Amino acid sequence: MAAAGLAVAATLLATGCLHEDGLADTADGFGGASSRERKLVIMSDSRIGAYGACALIMSLLLRIAAIASLGDPLLVVPVLIAAHAAARASMPVLMLLTPSARGEGLAADAARPPVFSVVVAVLLGMLALIAGLGIRQGLVALLLIAGAVVFIRWLCLRQIGGQTRDVLGALEQISEILVVLVASALI
């Protein structure tokens, strides 16, 4: 468990907690307000609320527990690579399928990615899943990530009318969790 915690801590340091911040902001905004405008204000606030804190705790607990349950340290490296690559590949898919909720900001500035770039990202994510988890587990993880993209798209359209950088970070975290859970459940 300690080694799994250190592995997750290393990924937090490497990414600067960028996606964890998005997860917390999304949880706070979606859970802490009723109007679209108020949700967006909460998501822009640098303070963390109860929903965000709980989302972060659950994200860390699930990732650490799943990694610890892999048992063999030689399995951890390919699983982490697959989880990070596939989770990041899900973000351009959501960007392509979902308009920006704001007229300004990082997600709005990035606009919708070219279809070719999205296809390349998805193919690289699929390749990482199959290489890191094997064909069967990789396909299960891919289907779960696709479901997460559909669900997050529906949720962010319903909650705030589109996606933001925070929603993209939340999707990355959810996708990463799904991959490590699949790896730990199907070993």
List Cα–Cα distances, 64 to 98, 150, 181, in angstroms: 31, 26, 10
| 163 three-class SS | strand
Q: State the Cα–Cα distance between residues 137 and 157, nearest whole angstrom.
A: 30
pLDDT tens for 112-124 read 899 999 999 999 9
List Cα–Cα distances, 142 to 22, 98, 152, in angstroms: 22, 19, 15
Q: Residue 137: its pLDDT value, please?
A: 96
Average pLDDT of the chain? 94
Q: State the Cα–Cα distance between residues 124 and 10, nearest whole angstrom.
A: 23
pLDDT tens for 21-70 read 999 999 999 998 899 999 999 999 989 999 999 999 999 999 999 999 99
> Is the separation of the CB atoms in 128 and 85 below 8 Å?
yes
Prediction pTM value: 0.93
